[in-house]
Structure 1
Amino acid sequence: MAAIIYYHNPRCSKSRQGLALFEARNIELKVRHYLDTPLDIAELTELLARLQSPLASLVRTNETSWKAMNIDIGDQQRTLEAIVEDPRLLQRPIADDGQRAFIGRPPEAMLALLDNA
Protein backbone atom coordinates (compact mmCIF):
# COMPACT_ATOMS: atom_id res chain seq x y z
CA MET A 1 0.00 0.00 0.00
CA ALA A 2 1.30 3.44 -0.93
CA ALA A 3 1.97 5.91 1.82
CA ILE A 4 -1.07 7.99 2.66
CA ILE A 5 -0.60 11.71 2.91
CA TYR A 6 -2.98 13.21 5.41
CA TYR A 7 -3.69 16.91 4.91
CA HIS A 8 -4.31 17.98 8.47
CA ASN A 9 -5.35 21.01 10.46
CA PRO A 10 -5.01 20.09 14.15
CA ARG A 11 -7.46 22.86 15.12
CA CYS A 12 -10.25 21.19 13.10
CA SER A 13 -12.35 18.61 14.93
CA LYS A 14 -13.10 16.63 11.73
CA SER A 15 -9.39 16.54 10.95
CA ARG A 16 -8.59 15.25 14.43
CA GLN A 17 -11.38 12.66 14.16
CA GLY A 18 -10.07 11.43 10.82
CA LEU A 19 -6.54 11.15 12.14
CA ALA A 20 -7.83 9.12 15.08
CA LEU A 21 -9.64 6.74 12.68
CA PHE A 22 -6.41 5.94 10.85
CA GLU A 23 -4.40 5.70 14.07
CA ALA A 24 -6.93 3.27 15.56
CA ARG A 25 -6.30 1.02 12.54
CA ASN A 26 -2.50 1.39 12.87
CA ILE A 27 -2.29 2.98 9.42
CA GLU A 28 0.95 4.87 8.95
CA LEU A 29 0.39 8.35 7.57
CA LYS A 30 2.57 11.15 6.34
CA VAL A 31 0.84 14.07 8.04
CA ARG A 32 1.11 17.35 6.20
CA HIS A 33 0.09 20.42 8.13
CA TYR A 34 -1.03 22.28 5.03
CA LEU A 35 -1.36 25.61 6.83
CA ASP A 36 2.36 25.46 7.62
CA THR A 37 3.36 23.85 4.31
CA PRO A 38 0.78 25.01 1.75
CA LEU A 39 0.19 23.18 -1.50
CA ASP A 40 1.17 24.83 -4.76
CA ILE A 41 -0.94 25.02 -7.92
CA ALA A 42 0.54 21.82 -9.39
CA GLU A 43 -0.10 19.86 -6.18
CA LEU A 44 -3.65 21.17 -5.94
CA THR A 45 -4.35 20.31 -9.58
CA GLU A 46 -3.10 16.76 -9.10
CA LEU A 47 -4.99 16.39 -5.83
CA LEU A 48 -8.20 17.56 -7.47
CA ALA A 49 -7.80 14.92 -10.18
CA ARG A 50 -7.35 12.17 -7.58
CA LEU A 51 -10.40 13.38 -5.64
CA GLN A 52 -12.63 12.81 -8.65
CA SER A 53 -14.94 15.42 -7.18
CA PRO A 54 -16.08 18.82 -8.38
CA LEU A 55 -13.76 21.75 -7.76
CA ALA A 56 -16.26 23.20 -5.27
CA SER A 57 -15.71 20.22 -2.96
CA LEU A 58 -12.08 21.28 -2.48
CA VAL A 59 -12.95 24.78 -1.25
CA ARG A 60 -14.28 25.96 2.07
CA THR A 61 -16.71 28.39 0.48
CA ASN A 62 -18.12 29.58 3.81
CA GLU A 63 -14.80 31.15 4.81
CA THR A 64 -14.93 34.94 5.04
CA SER A 65 -11.81 35.29 2.89
CA TRP A 66 -13.41 33.20 0.09
CA LYS A 67 -16.51 35.36 0.11
CA ALA A 68 -14.40 38.52 0.01
CA MET A 69 -12.49 37.27 -3.05
CA ASN A 70 -15.69 37.08 -5.10
CA ILE A 71 -14.33 34.30 -7.34
CA ASP A 72 -16.42 32.26 -9.74
CA ILE A 73 -16.08 28.70 -8.39
CA GLY A 74 -16.07 27.51 -12.01
CA ASP A 75 -12.76 29.29 -12.64
CA GLN A 76 -10.38 26.49 -11.69
CA GLN A 77 -7.14 28.44 -12.09
CA ARG A 78 -8.32 31.39 -10.00
CA THR A 79 -9.86 29.09 -7.39
CA LEU A 80 -6.62 27.15 -6.98
CA GLU A 81 -4.68 30.42 -6.83
CA ALA A 82 -7.00 31.51 -4.02
CA ILE A 83 -6.21 28.34 -2.05
CA VAL A 84 -2.49 28.99 -2.53
CA GLU A 85 -2.99 32.57 -1.31
CA ASP A 86 -5.06 31.45 1.68
CA PRO A 87 -4.52 27.76 2.58
CA ARG A 88 -7.39 27.95 5.08
CA LEU A 89 -9.66 27.68 2.03
CA LEU A 90 -8.60 24.06 1.43
CA GLN A 91 -11.28 21.64 2.57
CA ARG A 92 -10.13 19.36 5.34
CA PRO A 93 -9.19 16.74 6.12
CA ILE A 94 -8.00 14.97 2.99
CA ALA A 95 -6.34 11.57 2.74
CA ASP A 96 -4.38 10.84 -0.44
CA ASP A 97 -2.54 7.66 -1.42
CA GLY A 98 -1.20 9.05 -4.69
CA GLN A 99 -3.84 7.23 -6.74
CA ARG A 100 -7.05 8.25 -4.99
CA ALA A 101 -7.93 10.94 -2.50
CA PHE A 102 -10.92 11.45 -0.25
CA ILE A 103 -12.19 14.41 1.73
CA GLY A 104 -13.08 13.49 5.30
CA ARG A 105 -16.59 14.89 5.38
CA PRO A 106 -17.53 12.70 7.23
CA PRO A 107 -14.12 11.47 8.43
CA GLU A 108 -15.10 7.84 7.70
CA ALA A 109 -15.18 8.65 3.96
CA MET A 110 -11.38 8.60 3.92
CA LEU A 111 -11.32 4.96 4.99
CA ALA A 112 -12.22 4.10 1.38
CA LEU A 113 -8.46 4.31 0.77
CA LEU A 114 -8.15 1.09 2.74
CA ASP A 115 -10.48 -0.77 0.36
CA ASN A 116 -8.54 -3.10 -1.94
CA ALA A 117 -5.30 -2.04 -0.28
Structure 2
Amino acid sequence: MQATIYHNPRCSKSRAALALLTQAGADVTIVEYLKTPPTRDELAALLTRADLTPREALRTGETEAKPLKTADDATILDAMAEHPILIERPIVETAKGVVLARPPERVHDIL
Protein backbone atom coordinates (compact mmCIF):
# COMPACT_ATOMS: atom_id res chain seq x y z
CA MET A 1 0.00 0.00 0.00
CA GLN A 2 1.20 3.47 -0.90
CA ALA A 3 0.93 6.27 1.68
CA THR A 4 2.07 9.86 1.81
CA ILE A 5 2.66 11.61 5.10
CA TYR A 6 2.99 15.37 5.42
CA HIS A 7 5.51 15.13 8.19
CA ASN A 8 7.45 17.20 10.67
CA PRO A 9 10.22 15.04 12.15
CA ARG A 10 10.29 17.23 15.27
CA CYS A 11 6.65 16.36 16.08
CA SER A 12 6.00 13.30 18.26
CA LYS A 13 2.53 12.74 16.75
CA SER A 14 4.00 12.85 13.26
CA ARG A 15 6.77 10.41 14.21
CA ALA A 16 4.21 8.07 15.80
CA ALA A 17 2.00 8.13 12.68
CA LEU A 18 5.02 7.38 10.50
CA ALA A 19 5.93 4.44 12.74
CA LEU A 20 2.39 3.05 12.47
CA LEU A 21 2.51 3.32 8.68
CA THR A 22 5.87 1.58 8.58
CA GLN A 23 4.68 -1.18 10.94
CA ALA A 24 1.66 -1.73 8.69
CA GLY A 25 4.02 -2.32 5.75
CA ALA A 26 3.05 0.80 3.83
CA ASP A 27 5.36 2.16 1.16
CA VAL A 28 5.59 5.66 2.61
CA THR A 29 6.47 8.85 0.78
CA ILE A 30 7.57 11.41 3.36
CA VAL A 31 6.91 15.05 2.58
CA GLU A 32 8.60 17.36 5.07
CA TYR A 33 5.98 20.02 4.51
CA LEU A 34 7.98 22.78 6.19
CA LYS A 35 10.74 22.29 3.59
CA THR A 36 8.46 21.37 0.67
CA PRO A 37 5.02 22.79 1.42
CA PRO A 38 1.98 21.83 -0.59
CA THR A 39 0.58 24.51 -2.87
CA ARG A 40 -2.66 26.19 -1.90
CA ASP A 41 -4.53 24.01 -4.40
CA GLU A 42 -2.85 20.81 -3.17
CA LEU A 43 -3.66 21.70 0.42
CA ALA A 44 -7.27 22.52 -0.48
CA ALA A 45 -7.62 19.15 -2.22
CA LEU A 46 -6.12 17.29 0.76
CA LEU A 47 -8.46 19.03 3.19
CA THR A 48 -11.46 18.32 0.97
CA ARG A 49 -10.56 14.61 0.82
CA ALA A 50 -10.12 14.61 4.60
CA ASP A 51 -13.50 16.35 5.04
CA LEU A 52 -11.77 19.11 7.01
CA THR A 53 -12.16 22.86 6.83
CA PRO A 54 -9.02 24.98 6.82
CA ARG A 55 -9.94 26.13 10.34
CA GLU A 56 -10.03 22.50 11.54
CA ALA A 57 -6.53 21.92 10.11
CA LEU A 58 -5.07 25.14 11.54
CA ARG A 59 -2.40 25.03 14.24
CA THR A 60 -3.96 27.69 16.41
CA GLY A 61 -1.07 27.90 18.86
CA GLU A 62 1.29 29.36 16.28
CA THR A 63 2.02 33.10 16.35
CA GLU A 64 0.94 33.44 12.71
CA ALA A 65 -2.50 32.03 13.62
CA LYS A 66 -3.43 34.86 15.99
CA PRO A 67 -4.68 37.24 13.25
CA LEU A 68 -6.78 34.42 11.77
CA LYS A 69 -9.10 34.09 14.76
CA THR A 70 -12.07 35.51 12.84
CA ALA A 71 -10.83 34.87 9.28
CA ASP A 72 -12.83 32.98 6.69
CA ASP A 73 -11.65 29.64 5.28
CA ALA A 74 -10.18 31.15 2.11
CA THR A 75 -8.02 33.53 4.14
CA ILE A 76 -6.90 30.72 6.43
CA LEU A 77 -6.00 28.55 3.44
CA ASP A 78 -3.99 31.42 1.93
CA ALA A 79 -2.14 31.85 5.24
CA MET A 80 -1.42 28.12 5.48
CA ALA A 81 0.02 28.12 1.97
CA GLU A 82 2.21 31.11 2.82
CA HIS A 83 3.18 29.87 6.31
CA PRO A 84 3.15 26.04 6.30
CA ILE A 85 3.88 26.02 10.05
CA LEU A 86 0.15 26.75 10.34
CA ILE A 87 -0.79 23.33 8.93
CA GLU A 88 -1.71 20.84 11.63
CA ARG A 89 0.23 17.62 11.34
CA PRO A 90 0.52 14.92 10.35
CA ILE A 91 -1.72 14.61 7.33
CA VAL A 92 -1.67 11.12 5.84
CA GLU A 93 -2.97 10.18 2.41
CA THR A 94 -3.61 6.74 0.91
CA ALA A 95 -5.84 5.49 -1.90
CA LYS A 96 -8.54 4.98 0.76
CA GLY A 97 -8.57 8.61 1.89
CA VAL A 98 -6.88 11.37 3.85
CA VAL A 99 -6.78 11.87 7.62
CA LEU A 100 -5.35 14.34 10.03
CA ALA A 101 -3.60 11.74 12.18
CA ARG A 102 -4.29 13.25 15.58
CA PRO A 103 -4.25 10.90 17.34
CA PRO A 104 -1.75 8.97 15.22
CA GLU A 105 -3.91 5.84 15.34
CA ARG A 106 -6.29 7.51 12.89
CA VAL A 107 -4.00 6.23 10.13
CA HIS A 108 -5.64 2.83 10.63
CA ASP A 109 -8.84 4.34 9.17
CA ILE A 110 -7.20 4.60 5.74
CA LEU A 111 -4.97 1.53 5.66
1:94 touches 1:110 (CA, 8 Å); kept in 2?
A: no
Distance 1:86 1:98, change over 3 A: farther
Identity %: 38
Cα distance change, pair 25–99 in 1 and its aligned pair in 2 (3 A): closer
Q: What RMSD in Å do the two structures reach over aligned CA positions?
A: 1.5
Is the aligned partner of 1:104 residue 2:101?
yes
Match of 2:52 in 1: 53
TM-score by length of 2: 0.91
How far off is 1:56 after superposition?
A: 2.0
Q: Confirm or deny that 1:40 pairs with 2:39.
A: yes
Alignment partners' CA distance in 2, 1:96 and 1:40 = 16
Q: Give the TM-score of the pair, scaled to structure 1.
A: 0.86
What is the aligned partner in structure 2 of residue 5 from structure 1?
A: 4
State the alpha-carbon separation in 2 of the partners of residues 86 and 54 from structure 1. Answer: 17
The change in CA–CA distance for 1:43 and 1:99 in structure 2 (over 3 A counts) is farther
Checking the alignment, whether the CA contact within 8 Å between 2:34 and 2:85 is kept in structure 1 is yes
Between 84-93 and 49-58, report the one with greater CA deviation: 49-58
**Higher strand residue share:** 2
Distance across 1 between alignment mates of 2:103 and 2:5: 15
- The aligned counterpart of 2:30 is 31
Structure 1: state its 5+ residue gaps. none
Matched residue count: 111
Unpaired runs of at least 5, structure 2: none
CA, structure 1 residues 99+44, in 2 after alignment: closer, same or farther (shift >3 Å)?
A: farther
The answer for the alignment partner of 2:83 in structure 1 is 86
TM-aligned CA deviation for residue 98 of structure 1: 5.0
Write out the 4+ residue segments of structure 1 that deviate beyond 6 Å after TM superposition: none
